[in-house]
Chains A and B, each alone.
Chain A
Amino acid sequence: MNETDVERQRVLKARAAVLAREPEKSGAEGERIEIIEFLLADERYAIESVYIGEVYPLKNFTPLPCTPAFVLGVINMRGKILSVVDLRIFFDLPNRGLSDLNKVIILHDGGMEFGILADAIIAARWISRSSLFSSLPTLTEIRAEYLLGVTKERLVVLDGGKILSGPDIVVHEEV
């Protein structure tokens, strides 16, 4: 009973902390962008929401033959056939055991449209562009290329436009 009380206190305190958080100052520090924060292989990533059509639970995907390893397959989303890319393989991220990978984030820029896999969608939030730091030297080359910046909280913000227009991700393969 005591433990339950302690737990409850903790939960309430956490909520209070969240509510007490100071909202980001808008305008003063320049352009603000809305990002969608997500988890991938135990790391937090984010993409600008302007490149995001919607988020969608992954179900009934069909593997495609004769595609590179990062192409997981295709899904049917309300009648649209979209390819799904696994960024872990694309970015050569180390495989750290199992992950959910049950969410698909649909990227689009009017021309390209495809989904990327995510473990979980955390939230949508606003950040100022100026608060982003340039890429870390430790990041590998391919990741650095598609990177927009890193926040103070070490949130990796990916450049959706580059991913969408990147030559590497376009598959030209003939069998």
Chain B
Amino acid sequence: MQWFYDLSTRAKIIFSFGLMLILLAIIIVTAYTSITAIKGAQRELVQSGFQSVLDLVEIRSHQNHTRAEMIEMTITSDRSKLQAMAQDIKERTSNINQNVKALMELKKGDHKFITKLQELADTREAYRKTVEEEISLIFKGKNEEARTLGVGDQDNRYNRIRDITYELGKAEEESARQRILQSDQMAKTAALVFLIVGASAFVFCIVVTIVLNKAIAKPLTEITGIAERIAAGELDINVPSTTRKDEVGLLILMFRRMVDNIKGYALTTGQIAAGNLISTVAPKSEKDVMGNALAIMGSNLREITREIIEGVNVLASSSSEIMASTNQVASGASETAVAVSETSSTVEEVKQTAMVSSQKARNVADAAQKSVLVAQVGRRSVEESIVGMGRIQSQMEAIAESIVRLSEQSQTIGEIIATVNDLAEQSNLLAVNAAIEAAKAGEQGKGFAVVAQEVKSLAQQSKEATAQVRTILNDIQKATNAAVMATEQGNKAVEDGVRQSKEAGEAIRQMGESIDESAQAAVQIATSSQQQLTGMDQVALAMENIRQASEQNVTGMRQVEITVQGLHDLGQKLKDLVGRYTV
């Protein structure tokens, strides 16, 4: 039996199932041959035996019908009926011929049967010819002759045909019965063979099953139990050794190795857990997931522990520094509290200042309002002065007009004076002429000469008077011209005055606007300084809050100091803890 155990499992299974398949094939072949034989026998029975009997019965039937119709024809005179019957006889004759031909085909090998059938065919041929003669006689109306022809030989022929068919039918029935018996026998034999082969296959199957169970299933069950214990974490197990060389043997061998490996890894993991990080794990291969993982884990743990140690050292020193910083911050917070107190007092002072400036701004706003009123008064005055200047201008114009008129009139006076002067001149001439005339008159003209002399004197006087008037008129004209010039200048001065007063009005208006703006600005300043005051109040409040906050800061810093002390202690503790690990 050792050779069987040494076979590989696949070979075992193929061997066992191969045997089973062979048995199954034997059964199938046996069954198939038996069934085929029975089926062939049955088909033969049906084809030759059964069919031939049916054909014979049909032939007989047709023959009987033909005979009956012939007899009927001899006694019938109806032409159409005769026609139909003749047609029917013809059809039946061809049917009989067909049946005979089929039988000939069916029973080709059976000499005895063929000989008989040939005899039947011959007889039938003779019978058919006679029938045709009869029919032609009947159609000719010779019924009696046809009847005569129908008895005797024809009767014999009919009987002969019937006998042959009977005989042949009986022989066929007999042979069919024989064949059924044979077929029964064959079926019995096949069933027996079937039974024997099936039973042997059944027995073989049971044997194979038992053997396979013993060879494969039992050791697998044992290994499963071991695996279950390993799965539960148990590693202190002895896997039994085996000399088997099949898959089961290999499986047990590998299982042993696996358990050994796991034991080795467990040992290493235990060392690592105990803090010995120096031991390394050599993975069995590239694909040794656990070994690789353990190796990486070891190195990672070493790395991490090293970093943790460094981190803890840093943490310890940092916590020391934080402690120092916290002390500084605490002192800073105290200073801040002091500074905030100082700032609060400063804010109070600023508030006072803002209050004063607000008061001042209000005063300025009031003053600006007054200035606005003053500027309005000034503007009104300037407008009035502009109107006055306009009046002066118009009066100056009137004066200038008067003076111009005066000048014109003095011109007229000058003309009049010229005329008077001319008159005096003429009078003078007249006086001279009168004197000449008086001289011409001699002694008598002397008195006239005196008159002429007087006239001349008058003329002289009037001339002198006109000269004086002209002098005066010249003075008047000069004065008039001066007055014209003066009025002209006065006009210009008045125009300048109007322009300047307009400019002054504009200036005062702009000044008024400026003062308005300043007044508004002063009001805004007053409002702003009021807001500033409010803002300063808020700032003071905020400073108070800040002061409280800084005091809280100081308190908080003290708490932080305590916390940092705790942190420092923690760092020392961590340092001790990490010291346990050997890297």
Contact = CB atoms under 8 A, between A and B. Distances in A.
Chain A interface: which size bin? 10 to 19
A121 interface: yes
B429 A56 contact: yes
Contacts of A121: 428-429, 432
A41 B432 CA distance: 20
A155 to B, nearest CB: 16
Interface residues of B, number: 14
- Is the contact region of chain A dominated by helix, strand, or loop, or is it mixed? strand
B567 to A, nearest CB: 127
Interface in B407-441: 425-426, 428-429, 431-433, 435-436, 439
Contacts, number: 36
A49 B429 contact: no
B441 to A, nearest CB: 12
A55 B425 CA distance: 11
Interface in B431-463: 431-433, 435-436, 439, 452, 456
Given A11-B464, A103-B429, A121-B429, A54 B456 contact: no
Interface string A27-52: 00000001010000000000001101
A171 interface: no
A49 B433 contact: no
A57 interface: yes
Contact of A34 (B426, B431, B439, B464): B439
B451 to A, nearest CB: 13
Nearest to A38: B432
B432 A124 contact: yes
A34 B436 CA distance: 9
A20 interface: no
A154 B433 CA distance: 24
B426 A124 contact: no
A54 B436 CA distance: 7
Contacts of B426: 57
Contacts of A11: 464
A50 B432 CA distance: 13
Nearest to A125: B435
Contacts of B425: 57
Nearest to B422: A57
B435 A124 contact: yes
Contacts of A170: none
B429 A55 contact: yes
Contacts of A55: 429, 432-433, 436
Given A121-B428, A124-B435, 20 more contacts: A34-B435, A36-B432, A36-B436, A49-B435, A49-B436, A49-B439, A50-B439, A52-B436, A53-B436, A54-B433, A55-B429, A55-B432, A57-B425, A57-B429, A103-B429, A121-B429, A124-B431, A124-B432, A124-B452, A124-B456
12 contacts: A34-B435, A53-B436, A55-B432, A55-B436, A56-B429, A57-B425, A103-B429, A121-B429, A121-B432, A124-B435, A124-B436, A124-B452
